[in-house]
Structure 1
Amino acid sequence: MCTRFLYIDGENVSKMEVVNSVNSFLELLKPSDIFVGKLYGNRDSVKAYVPFCLANGLTYVETSAISVSGKNITDMKMTVDCIFDVLYSKDSDFTVTLLSKDCDFLPLFYKLKEMGVKAEMPFSALAQITSFEFLSSFTKMEKNYQKTTSGLDAFLKHNGFYSPKNSDCLGNLFSKIKEKTDNFFPDSVIEEHIAIKTKKFNKSIVAIYGENNIHEFKKIKPKDFSFENVVDSLNITDPNEINRLYVSYVSKIFGYVPKNKSLPAIVLNDLAKEFAIA
């Protein structure tokens, strides 16, 4: 008897990929196997295939209800559940399948392998690499993404950094990019990239507040660029104005208009405490 764990990052795979993967997974089950399947995601992102998953014995874990901080709750919830299930599994024989294209799950995958767990992450090329293949794969990565601003831009777009899937877009851009690229790109390239990406937003600030009223804002270096520092430098005290700035920040830097035009209450409250917003 073997327990087969299946975890699906519903916000990072398509309906067709979910359907095909689940069907293939179920076909490989033996009569004596125990199946534990879970689909994770915001209901707006996964509603197209929730009925299919439920009909095939998976549990749906709706994550928007616990997402109040703008962080990637889906990833964290899925990771915590996986580790808990593995550690407290009553069976000594089990496998874990992670369905996601998000490289943020690679640390979980590698930890499972380190623990001796039979794990697979079929949608991740890096998860398929053996120790003997690593060097050639790294060379291929260098070839695909040159250490230039255009190479960095291509990498970040390909990995969903500039998309609605990046729920942590208000933090320090430099540190977030460093983390996402695992220090592959030089600091100078990241700073130049940020200067380019924020150019349109900076022009809008000049147009709204005037050249003579943004001295502190102009002092923000690419390495320190974040939404919090922008609010602080402009000395904004009106919550409505902060929300308008938030929409402009996301649309001009990340390239999409946020579905919710207001900041999460907890974020606005944190700003209120720090900058004495009325």
Structure 2
Amino acid sequence: MTETTLPDGVGWTSLLTAYARAQEQDRPDATFPDPWASLLVRAALAAPDDRLPRLGPARDDGGSVLWDMFVAYFGAGRTPFFDDQVRAGLDAGAEQVVVLASGMDGRVVRLDVPDGVRVFEVDTQPVHAFKDSVLAAADADVDRRVPVVADLREDWRAALVEAGFRPGRPTVWTVEGLLMYLPPDAADRLLRDAVEISGPGSRFAVEYFRRIPEPDSIPLADEGERHAIRTILGLFEAGPEGDPASFLGRAGIRAETVTEVPDELRRHGRPVPEVIDVDHTPDPIRIWLAAGVS
């Protein structure tokens, strides 16, 4: 795979997240840095160092209600939440970090990961092949990053251990941009498997939709946006059943924090897009963020 060959399916959606993070980093009031985001998107689009060209619903011109919602959601709405949970876990003594469905994640370089702590990024071969080729060509510092090729619908734990993960040790787990692509039983099983392989006091951070959004609930600017949102929502499954405390509790995790994307946006002083704002939309898209400790 060359560095301009895009992974498809859910791997393609991870590029949308990177696109939003690249835009967030360019803001004067950015809530986080992400030096890899722009690098990966520009390689994918063969783009020069100016305005990013369009990628599906993603655009860098401020002319899309749909993309404005995604930028808020992927950027200040959820990324700082997961970063904070990783920091909290490391401060509490976690010895390793696992990023499930890692996609184009750049936490290994934007967070102050202590010496000796490795960050295991679990995703499929096409996603890793694309990301590895881009980072290698850029001579990026990947010292603590450990790519793990695995399909999360199969025996991913064996691949994780083979890559050097130490079972039974305190671990931080991020489950971001993933659970909406799983049916309820698979979501429960994934979290139970993570708890079983971890040590006591491990930290888990998750995100999922209260319900699958309907395409008609989002203002769409053109046929390209309609195709993109149908593609994305076509990948969705039901996700976890019940509220986050119940979902975490079924796996043996004590919920410590439960919030929603609009709350996180307000926490960072950012406006909330109407489509996800309960104060302005009768039936808004609602997205939980939650974290707890085993």
Length-normalised TM-score, structure 1: 0.32
Bigger Cα Rg = 1
Length-normalised TM-score, structure 2: 0.30
Higher relative contact order (CA 8 A, sep 6+): 2
Per residue, is there more helix in 1 or in 2? 1
